[in-house]
């Protein structure tokens, strides 16, 4: 068969090179380009018309979810595989709603990542390394729509913030004065995952610390914060 044309989108050059090395071991996957941010991703995709895009969720500027939704309006036959360091149901939910057909964790074994790209190219849907039928994927989304669905507008189609729904949730808790430990207990995620999210929030907002992040959010009226008694 003809080689699968793959575009890699991630803002870390060392990680992109690592992905190139992974796919170089497979003769039927051709990495035709790389992009480091949302604007470059859009430009490269429209120029190269890749079969599959490996898309990081957390990008400078618009997020990977926003880029995916925009790209698929113009390149509906392209398959997007979302990749992230946070393997959480909410991230998977919004990735599928944005149009991605697969969701991968960055700690996935190289062979599994290659297999996921093949599955995506073949029109399959992959969640947590499991191949699902279209009906199974729709059922997976439906079961979680009440929990996650009402926060989709915070992510896709909004130019105000490139934060993911989970990051918006964490930022709101930070604005309420919650510590990383508090957030970990409140959301049922690990302390390290909270730290990773906070780092991503500060990076995306272009601020140095939590206090500046709070001021950034409150000045833009992102949240209605009631004074704590």
Q: Is residue 228 part of a domain?
A: no
SS3 state at 126: strand
CA–CA separation, 121 and 5 (whole Å): 10
pLDDT digits (tens, 9 = 90+) for 163-221: 777 888 899 899 888 899 999 998 888 888 898 889 888 888 888 888 888 888 887 77
Structure tokens at 34: 């790389």
Closest among 58, 56, 70 to 99, alpha carbons compared? 70
pTM of this prediction exceeds 0.85: no
pLDDT at 36: 93
CA–CA separation, 32 and 46 (whole Å): 12
Query: The domain containing residue 179 runs over which residues?
Result: 163-219
Residue 178 and residue 139 in one domain: no
- The CATH number of residue 23's host domain is 3.40.50.2300
Q: Is residue 157 part of a domain?
A: no
Q: Is residue 63 part of a domain?
A: yes
From 94, 109, 143, the end of a domain falls on 143
From 143, 175, 207, the end of a domain falls on 143
Q: Is residue 152 part of a domain?
A: no
Residue 122 and residue 210 in one domain: no
Residue 132 and residue 171 in one domain: no
Contact predicate 122/135, CB 8 Å = no
Residue 87 and residue 200 in one domain: no
- The CATH number of residue 180's host domain is 1.10.10.10
CA–CA separation, 102 and 54 (whole Å): 9
Q: Is residue 227 part of a domain?
A: no
Q: Is residue 153 part of a domain?
A: no
Q: How confident is the model at residue 100 (pLDDT cuts 50, 70, 90)?
A: very high
Total domains present in the chain = 2
Query: Longest Cα pair distance anywhere in the chain, in angstroms?
Result: 66
Q: Is residue 151 part of a domain?
A: no
Question: What is the pLDDT averaged over residues 99-118?
Answer: 91
Structure tokens at 210: 């939590």
Residue 9 and residue 121 in one domain: yes
């Amino acid at each position: 068969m003809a080689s699968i044309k793959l575009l890699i989108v991630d803002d870390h050059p060392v990680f992109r090179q690592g992905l190139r090395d992974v796919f170089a071991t497979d003769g039927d996957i051709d990495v035709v380009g790389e992009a480091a941010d949302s604007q470059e991703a859009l430009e490269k995709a429209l120029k190269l018309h890749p079969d599959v895009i490996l898309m990081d969720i957390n990008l400078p500027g618009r997020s990977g979810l926003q880029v995916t939704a925009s790209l698929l309006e113009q390149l509906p036959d392209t398959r997007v595989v979302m990749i992230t360091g946070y393997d959480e149901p909410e991230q998977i939910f919004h990735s599928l709603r944005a149009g991605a057909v697969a969701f991968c964790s960055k700690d996935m074994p190289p062979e599994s990542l290659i297999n996921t790209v093949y599955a995506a190219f073949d029109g399959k849907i992959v969640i947590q390394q499991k191949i699902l039928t279209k009906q199974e994927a729709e059922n997976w989304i439906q079961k979680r729509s009440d929990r996650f669905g009402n926060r989709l507008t915070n992510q896709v189609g909004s130019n105000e913030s490139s934060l993911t729904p989970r990051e918006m949730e964490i930022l709101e808790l930070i604005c309420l004065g919650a510590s990383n430990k508090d957030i970990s207990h409140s959301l049922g995620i690990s302390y390290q995952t909270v730290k990773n999210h906070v780092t991503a929030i500060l990076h995306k907002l272009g601020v140095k610390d939590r206090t500046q992040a709070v001021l950034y959010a409150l000045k833009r009226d992102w949240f209605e914060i009631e004074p704590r008694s």
